[in-house]
Amino acid sequence: MNEFQRGRIGAINLHVLPTKVFKTFAISLYAGIPLAENTVTPVALTPFVLRRGTASTPETIAFREKLDDLYGAGFGFDVYKRGDAQIVQFRMDVINDQFVSASQPLLAEALTFLGDVVSKPLLEEGTFRSSYVESEKETLRNRLQAIVNDKIRYSAERCVEEMCKNEPYRLQALGRLDDIAGISPEALYQNYSAWLDHAAFDLYVAGDTTLEEVAELAGKAFKLKPRQPGAYGAPDKGYSIKETNYVVEEMDVNQGKLNMGLRTGITYGDDAYAAMLMYNGILGGYPHSKLFRNVREKESLAYYASSRLDGHKGICAIQSGIEFQNYEKALEIITEQLASMSKGELSDLEMNQTKAMIMGHLREIQDSAYEMIAYDFNGVLSGNLRTRDELMAQIAAIKPEDVAEVGKHVRLETVYFLRNRKEA
């Protein structure tokens, strides 16, 4: 697997993967700041407004026509959290010039377009266009409302809120519904300006190019104040509880949602991360996992039962959908699986199947430029630039006692149960 070349242009860290494997250039710009109550909603709203128009393409239709002019270049963004950081990721993909008869170098055009989106937005009287802001406030409102309506996701978010009530991680990446109405174009632009001045920026380009070419193009495309790169902020691993917190919430639902929050004390940059990946895979990461087999199939207690690891925060979250009356029994059996993990009660089949699943995913990374970028960014974010091959070697070497050892440090902090409203 090719290695990224690294450099810096002012506030932007550059990561370039020279490769002739792909016919397109894959571009990702990560912009992140520490999660904070006063900025989380404005930061989430900002990319929605930025995508509506730039100084050079002020109307949304002109913005889209510009992408068409770039031979149908793709553009999009995501807002998410990694550890205690809120990250906006802008993505572009544009075809390599050698496959079309372009009049201008398409990588240069694409980076100029992205630079305009991020650092040269459409302004009217020194602030964002009010009609765009109001329209995108409604878009963000709908996105947040959709989370409430999706009870699987809602219960997962609520479990995190309860578990991390004194930590930035409790905040949703898309912000808070109650904050949206009070955001004016002026306030949003002021927050955007501060975001530009303080965010950590990591620009990735994968394709048939060089670090020197990207550095020259990025220097012209992005108009940021000269400064040192910002910081995403180190995640707080927590670990302050003395006893498990039990929370029951009632809504109009037809199926109970049992979620459990576990502190692992292990994050992506730690040496024990490979063992933690195996722990999560065996517990609930795959169809052969203990949760799926014992809670869903053997006992028929759950419609779904799985676990998910946030390697940047060191949290493992269990999700299950159950009948309301099965709460106690499901909780008991899930707790038994956690105890089984910490005792090292792991079969050769569980170990081998989990290794095969993780290895398969790691091998597939090289088939996608964006997957390669995302994997490398995890290393940048954690401070541990572990290569894919290094992680595969670590996974291959994991023994049952290694999984049991990390399991001994896992703590059940929060049990959240969403059930139907009690009848009066």
Question: What CATH number is given to the structural domain containing 202?
Answer: 3.30.830.10
Are 187 and 283 part of one and the same domain? no
Is residue 55's pLDDT more than 50?
Answer: yes
Question: Given this model, what pLDDT does residue 423 score?
Answer: 46
Question: Given this model, what pLDDT does residue 365 score?
Answer: 96
Are 280 and 395 part of one and the same domain? yes
Are 61 and 134 part of one and the same domain? yes
**Alpha carbon distance 133, 118 (integer Å):** 16
Residue 238 lies in a domain: no
- Average pLDDT on 373-388 reads 95
Is residue 424's pLDDT more than 60?
Answer: no
Are 204 and 273 part of one and the same domain? no
Residue 237 lies in a domain: no
| Range(s) of the domain holding residue 46 | 5-221
Average pLDDT, the chain: 93
Are 30 and 157 part of one and the same domain? yes
Please state the domain count of the chain.
2
Element (H, E) at 158: helix 151-163
pTM for the structure as a whole: 0.94
- Average pLDDT on 213-218 reads 96
Are 319 and 366 part of one and the same domain? yes
- Average pLDDT on 245-258 reads 95
Is residue 333's pLDDT more than 70?
Answer: yes
Among 373, 399, 390, residue whose Cα is nearest residue 16: 373
Are 156 and 54 part of one and the same domain? yes
pLDDT confidence of 298, banded at 50, 70, 90? confident
Question: Given this model, what pLDDT does residue 102 score?
Answer: 63
Are 323 and 179 part of one and the same domain? no
Strand partners, 27: 92, 205
Q: SS3 of 422, please?
A: coil
Is residue 1's pLDDT more than 60?
Answer: no
Residue 411 lies in a domain: yes
Residue 64 lies in a domain: yes
- Average pLDDT on 246-267 reads 95
Are 200 and 71 part of one and the same domain? yes
Are 259 and 136 part of one and the same domain? no
Question: Given this model, what pLDDT does residue 301 score?
Answer: 83
271-297 tens-digit pLDDT: 999 999 999 999 999 999 999 998 887
Q: What are phi and psi of 384, to 5 degrees?
A: -130, 100
Q: Is the dihedral of CA 383, 389, 395, 398 positive or negative?
A: negative
Question: Given this model, what pLDDT does residue 239 score?
Answer: 64
Question: Given this model, what pLDDT does residue 26 score?
Answer: 97
Question: Given this model, what pLDDT does residue 415 score?
Answer: 97
Question: Given this model, what pLDDT does residue 122 score?
Answer: 95
**Alpha carbon distance 317, 299 (integer Å):** 21
Question: Given this model, what pLDDT does residue 240 score?
Answer: 63
- Average pLDDT on 384-398 reads 96
* Helical axes 185-198 vs 40-50, angle rounded to 10°: 100
Are 156 and 301 part of one and the same domain? no
For residue 289, CA distances in Å to 94, 346, 398 come to 40, 11, 17
Are 23 and 138 part of one and the same domain? yes
